Amino acid sequence: MKPLPPTFAQEVRRLRNERGLSLNQMTGLVPYSKGHLSKIENGQVHPNPEMARLFDNALQADGHLIELADAPERPIPSDHTTLLTFDSMFDHHRALGHRLSPEVVLSSLRPQVDALSSMARSADDPGLGRGLWLLAARYAEYAGWMEQERGDDASAADFTRRAVKYAAKGGDSELASWAHVRISEFALYRGDARATVKYAREAGKSRSTAVQAAAALREAQGYALAGAADRCHAALDRAAELQRVLSESPYGTTSLIDQVAIARAWTFHDLGRHAEAAAILDTQMPLISPTALRARTRFGLRRALAHAEAGDVDHACDLVADLLDDIRQVQSATVHIDLTAFSKLLSRLRPAAGREVAGEIGEILFA
């Protein structure tokens, strides 16, 4: 079989090594950082004509790199087991995301997003290409969630935008609506009630029942932030009605049995109905799988906050003490928001039982 010609990326690396140039030295010849050069040589960046011209001149390739940049990308074989393999890998990434720090998960998730989008562009089978684009969208959407958990909302938004673009290429236009749910969630954790409601309403225009249900929950949480109780309850009731006709959602969490009940408790806490919020979370927490550490820490901490604000501070401290190891493990920026709130509450109330817990919380927040 005749060997395939080298790719632009392979030839850039070969010529650079042949000329005895390091990546650091190359940064002085072309207007790219060392990290970007590494991505180019690994095939993660598709060359444009200007890039090809710059590298061709810097490496004295006599037009060879310009020709390679113009060549069509190599098609990948029409093998649908590729989809099954990456689909299975995605489930493994989500399982890791339940238990490990976002940075650990992203270290393998980010390259998979790039690989899938590259494979989709070069697929020789339209059906395979669509499937790869849809998988790339799922990976990118989850990467966006992990970036938010890492505390980088800008990167989270960027991955969410990529997910929308990839999904559209695969024939799924509804992910654009789901992106508004995610943006609404960014605003929720910033404490921006107006933006939370604004983007939730935009998402609620979707034709997808799953997106409408999630949007109604975010809308309710936004109203609760603003203290608009009647509108909050109406949005919760709408979400409950939508959930009744929803068999399974292709988007969002897989860790919660009753998302409406959890959201109701969340809004009750923000509306000052702390005892009711605590009672709901006391019932819902045992239903969250022990392996879903990220969800257990997020809602377990909200449960502790509700109990503390309801007057049972010692019990709240016991609940937080049981969560501390999991909080350290998942390293969640969104969990740290409520952890900070609990720390402030302890500082204000100064319970005797809270001194040791307060010290450990301080170590986590300022590690």
CATH, residue 64: 1.10.260.40
CA distances in angstroms from 253 to 235, 259, 361, listed in the order given: 19, 9, 27
**How confident is the model over 289-318, as a mean pLDDT?**
93
Which of 45, 70, 95 is where one domain is finished? 70
Q: Is residue 362 assigned to a domain? A: yes
Q: In angstroms, how far apart are the furthest CA atoms of the chain?
A: 77
Q: Which of 63-77, 146-160, 267-281, 317-331 has the lowest mean pLDDT?
A: 63-77
Residue 5 pLDDT: 67
**How confident is the model over 44-61, as a mean pLDDT?**
87
3-state secondary structure of 258: coil
Residue 321 pLDDT: 94
Residue 305 binned pLDDT confidence (cut-offs 50, 70, 90): very high
Residue 205 binned pLDDT confidence (cut-offs 50, 70, 90): very high
Which of 35, 53, 70 is where one domain is finished? 70
Residue 233 pLDDT: 97
| pTM exceeds 0.75 for this model | no
Whether 166 and 138 have beta carbons less than 8 Å apart is answered as no
* 68-116 pLDDT per residue, tens: 887 655 555 556 788 888 888 888 998 899 989 999 999 999 999 999 9
Q: Is residue 55 assigned to a domain? A: yes
Q: Is residue 356 assigned to a domain? A: yes
Residue 73 pLDDT: 57
Which of 70, 89, 111 is where one domain is finished? 70
3-state secondary structure of 80: coil
Does position 254 have pLDDT exceeding 90, yes or no?
A: no
Residue 2 pLDDT: 41
* 18-46 pLDDT per residue, tens: 999 988 899 999 988 888 888 788 776 77
What CATH number does residue 273 fall under? 1.25.40.10
Q: Is residue 105 assigned to a domain? A: no
Burial class (CB in 10 A: 0-12, 13-18, 19+), 84: exposed
3-state secondary structure of 172: coil
Q: What residue has token string 């969640």? A: 332
CA distance 251 to 221: 18
Reference 132, options 73, 79, 71, 96; nearest CA is 79
Q: Is residue 248 assigned to a domain? A: no
Residue 88 pLDDT: 87
Domain that holds residue 33: 8-70
Whether 317 and 353 have beta carbons less than 8 Å apart is answered as yes
Angle, to 10 degrees, between the axis of helix 209-226 and the axis of helix 259-270?
A: 10
Counting residues of the chain whose pLDDT is more than 70, the rounded percentage is 94
Q: Is residue 48 assigned to a domain? A: yes
**How confident is the model over 43-54, as a mean pLDDT?**
82
Reference 233, options 223, 218, 243, 241; nearest CA is 223
Q: Is residue 172 assigned to a domain? A: no
* 159-177 pLDDT per residue, tens: 999 999 999 998 888 888 8
CA distance 40 to 32: 10
* 62, two tokens: 């006599």
Residue 350 pLDDT: 82
User: What rounded mean pLDDT belongs to the chain?
Assistant: 89
Number of domains in the chain: 2
Does position 247 have pLDDT exceeding 60, yes or no?
A: no
Residue 251 binned pLDDT confidence (cut-offs 50, 70, 90): low
φ, ψ dihedrals at 77, nearest 5°: -60, 150
Residue 78 pLDDT: 58
Q: Is residue 100 assigned to a domain? A: no
Whether 213 and 190 have beta carbons less than 8 Å apart is answered as no
